[in-house]
Amino acid sequence: MKRGKLLGTAVLGVGILIGGNTVQGETLKEAIETMIQSHPEVRSQAYNRLGRDEEVRQAKADYLPKLDFIAGYGIQEIQEPESDSLNPGIFTLSLRQNVFAGMQTVNEVGRQKDRVRSAAYTLQGVSENTALKTTEVYLKVLRDEELNRLAVENLETHLRISDQIKMRSDSGVASKADSNQVTGRVALAQANVIATKTNLIDAQTNYQAVIGRLPSDLQAPDSPDALMPESLEAAEQEAVNNHPTLKSAGADLDARDKQHAVAKAPYLPIVDIEVDQHWEEDFDEPGADDQLIAMVKLRYNLFHGFRNQARRAETTQLIEEAREIRNNTHRQVIESIRLSWMAYQAAKDRIGFLEERVTATTDTAKSYTEQFNIGKRTLLDVLDTEAEVIDAKRALVEAKYDGLLAEYRVLNGLGKLVHSFDLEWPVEARVDEENDAGKVNEKEKDQAGVTVKLPKEVSKVQVRPMEIGSFKS
């Protein structure tokens, strides 16, 4: 097999998927920003958050009076004392204003606001996970590109050695065994090129499936090592305080508490102010009967078939369910940050040793080649050292990208992966407890998917550190 054909085959396919449907090179920050603004999972959760704003408005409607107009027209037959037929018309304007409803309205409004907070935190979490998924496929393409370049470099090295052996064989210096050895190693190098090329194409395809377009000239990101916590304990504490999923679980528990308070309302009286203006007249006879009735009404249910008791018992169980979900979420957050931190530390420790290995094996390969040229080393020694060099470089590349991904996983576990790129979550993810739980205005709704600067209040909203089994109702 000719050298030109081998090299041509080696690089064939690196750009198979990159052709007419290409885009300009992009950074990891740009890829994440695009995904946060447009990914269907992010946008669907954003609309869910906006829908819960309207549920708050629905709950607040019970603070306002209710005004009804009733009109009726019919026939009235009278038999005694004398037969008569009338055509009465009835008109009523009724005003109702609730004064007290057992704190039902207050608690229901509070419950819906907690659900808004939960949806906003969930959107934060979805944005963080989307950013992490984007990071994974982005780094996978970069890693497989480097591994493919190493495989091509290894093939070129073996082809160079093969040329030298051929020249030595033509001059009668090299043996048949040397030719066979180098031919076998060239074949192995070629197989490795095909394998890495296939892996790269798979990574590009996966990138397209996630991002929506093929990668082109991706830029290697800088390490976020400066953003890492000082210790595992600090990382755990920060994760418990700031992770969006844990905050969402806490908001759900708050909502269940208020739902339980709503269920207590039927045990208290209801007080309303009612004003009714009533008109009644017979269109066949002149005259009308006008009545204005204004009163304060108190209603108190004495028995409702045990419905109220069952509802209250149900909400008690729902509180415990939400509490256990928060407990489990707490455990998952701790587990995730610990695993990510250990992977980060392991990769960080490995890289130094692997760099030393690359340096040592490279020097050894160079020395063995020089010794082979003067007959002090065998061809097998040279080929083995070259294989060790490429293996050392491959391990170093994998460790660097594993370490980089582990760093981003740690940031994701802390709930600040998006912010580490100087980006913000979608505007719908805003949480402002001092202003109707972060209600999005109409202008912002029209700009769906456009990120804005989060208010300062976001950083103030925290879930206190929790210990498993220490939760209280």
Tell me the domain boundaries of the chain.
Answer: 24-460
pLDDT at 85: 59
Average pLDDT over every residue of 374-378 = 76
pLDDT at 89: 81
For 78-87, 315-324, 353-362, 373-382, which range has the lowest pLDDT when averaged over its residues?
78-87
For 191-200, 295-304, 414-423, which range has the lowest pLDDT when averaged over its residues?
295-304
pLDDT at 457: 34
Residue 472 confidence class, pLDDT cut points 50, 70, 90: very low
Pick from 323, 346, 166: nearest CA to 250: 323
Pick from 37, 2, 124, 7: nearest CA to 448: 37
Residue 83 confidence class, pLDDT cut points 50, 70, 90: low
Residue 375 confidence class, pLDDT cut points 50, 70, 90: confident
Work out the mean pLDDT of the chain and round it to a whole number. 82
Which of 131-140, 184-193, 205-214, 351-360 shows the highest mean pLDDT? Answer: 131-140
Angle formed by the axes of helices 28-38 and 176-211, nearest 10°:
40
Q: What is the fold, at CATH topology level, of the domain defined by 24-460? A: Outer membrane efflux proteins (OEP) (1.20.1600)
Confidence check: pLDDT of 451 > 50: no
For 230-244, 255-269, 273-287, 293-307, which range has the lowest pLDDT when averaged over its residues?
273-287
Q: For the segment 313-351, what is each residue's pLDDT rounded down to a tens digit?
A: 999 999 999 999 999 999 999 999 999 999 999 998 999
Alpha-carbon gap, residue 32 to 38, rounded angstroms: 10
For 192-206, 268-282, 427-441, which range has the lowest pLDDT when averaged over its residues?
427-441
Kindly report the three-state secondary structure assignment for every residue of the chain. CCHHHHHHHHHCCCCCCCCCCCCCCCCHHHHHHHHHHHCHHHHHHHHHHHHHHHHHHHHHHHHCCEEEEEEEECCEEECCCCCEEECEEEEEEEEEEEEECCCHHHHHHHHHHHHHHHHHHHHHHHHHHHHHHHHHHHHHHHHHHHHHHHHHHHHHHHHHHHHHHHHHHHCCCCCHHHHHHHHHHHHHHHHHHHHHHHHHHHHHHHHHHHHCCCCCCCCCCCCCHHHCCCCHHHHHHHHHHHCHHHHHHHHHHHHHHHHHHHHHHHHCCEEEEEEEEEEEEECCCCCEEEEEEEEEEEECCCCCCCHHHHHHHHHHHHHHHHHHHHHHHHHHHHHHHHHHHHHHHHHHHHHHHHHHHHHHHHHHHHHHHHHHHCCCCCHHHHHHHHHHHHHHHHHHHHHHHHHHHHHHHHHHHCCCHHHHCCCCCEHHHCCCCCCCCCCCCHHHHHCCCCECCCCCHHHHCCCCCCCCCCCCC
